[in-house]
A = this chain, B = another copy of it.
Amino acid sequence: MTITDPTTTTTSALDAARAELRGRLLADGVLIDLGSPGLYGRTGVFERVYTAVDAAAVRSQADLDAEVLRFPPVEPLAAFERTDYIASFPDLAASISGFTGDDRTHRALLAARERGERWETFLEPADLMLTPAVCHPVYGLIGDTVPEGGRAFDIVGDSFRREPSLDPMRLQAFHMHEFVHVGTPESAKAHRDGRIPGMRALLESFGLAIDVVPANDPFFGRVGQILARNQVEQSLKYEFVSPVYGPDHDPTAISSANLHEDHFGTAFGLRTADGEVAHSACLAFGLERITIALFAAHGTDPDRWTSDVRAALAL
C-alpha cells in the first residue's frame, strides 16, 4: 500500500498535519513512541478499535468461505526469492542475521561493543527475511494445480517494510488482513472487481470519506518508474483512500484491491484445472491504517463516536 505523493500541497504543510496527528495519538495514549520512526507500542484503546476493525473486515468477506492461514513475521529466504521482491522493492526489504560463533567470537563481539563499535558485523545472514507482504507465503503452499472454481484464502499477518517515517499512517511494522483468490483470469478479476463496492461500503460505514483510485506500488529506481506506470495503465491496483489529513492534502490509502494477473502463478508454477497459468487477486485491509484513520476522523475516545459508527464496528 502506498500513500499517494503529496503533489497538491507543500510538503511542510503536510508534514505539520502528520506531526499534529502523531502528537495527538501519543498525547492521548493511543500509541506509544518506541524511539524509532514508524514503530509504536499500542495501548488498550488502540487494540479495542483495531480488533473491531479486523472483525468487521472478516464479517464482510464471510461469504468467501476462505481457508484460514496465518504466518510468522519472517519467511525463509528461498520463499522470498521466488517473489522477486528484491528486484522491485530493495529499499523496503529487511534481512535477518544471527550469531553462529563460539565463546571466543562472542568475547570479541562483546569487546567491540564495549569499545562502542557496531557488533552486528559478527552476525551472519540467517536465510530469513521479514515478510513484506502477508500473502507471499501462500503461493508456495498451493501445490501445482488449483481446482475448478479456484481457492480463496483468509490471511492476516505481520508486514515489515523498511521506510522509517514520522507519518503515523506509515508504519514499518503493520498488519494486513488479505482475502486472496487464486484461479482463472476471469475468476481473479471477478474477485477483485466484484468486491470493491462492498469494501467501499464497509469503510464508509465506519464514517470515513472514501474514494477508490488507480494506484501503483512504490517500485524502486528508474526501471521501477516504468513498472509503476504500467501498473496504473493496466488498472492492476486500486486503493481505497481517505482524506486523513483533511481536504487540503492528498488522501491516504487505507486498503487496496489488487489484480496480480499471472505474476505469482508464473513465479510459483501454479496452474488452473485446464492447465493454464493461474491468476490471482487480493483484497487487502490495512488494519493499522484504518484504525488510525478512525481516530483521526472521530477523535481518540471511541465511546464518544456516533452510534452509527460504533454499530458498524460492533463497538
Contact = CB atoms under 8 A, between A and B. Distances in A.
A183 B97 CA distance: 36
B221 A106 contact: yes
B68 A44 contact: yes
Contacts of A87: 110
A240 B101 CA distance: 31
How many copies of this kind of chain does the complex include? 2
Interface residues of A, number: 64
Given A35-B79, A91-B100, A96-B96, A137 B70 contact: no
A99 to B, nearest CB: 4
Interface string A235-248: 00000000000000
A123 interface: yes
A41 B141 contact: yes
Contact of A41 (B41, B44, B71, B158): B71
A74 interface: yes
A115 interface: no
Contact of A99 (B42, B70, B73, B90): B90
A134 B130 CA distance: 17
Given A96-B94, A97-B97, A86 B109 contact: yes
A86 B97 CA distance: 13
A160 to B, nearest CB: 7
Interface string A146-182: 0000000000001010100000000111000000000
Interface of A: 32, 34-36, 39-44, 46-47, 67-76, 78-79, 86-87, 90-91, 93-103, 106, 109-110, 113, 118-120, 123, 125-128, 130, 137, 140-141, 158, 160, 162, 171-173, 220-222
Given A36-B128, A103-B221, 20 more contacts: A35-B76, A41-B70, A42-B69, A72-B171, A72-B172, A72-B173, A74-B172, A86-B119, A90-B106, A90-B109, A91-B98, A94-B96, A94-B97, A95-B97, A96-B97, A99-B162, A102-B221, A103-B220, A106-B220, A158-B158
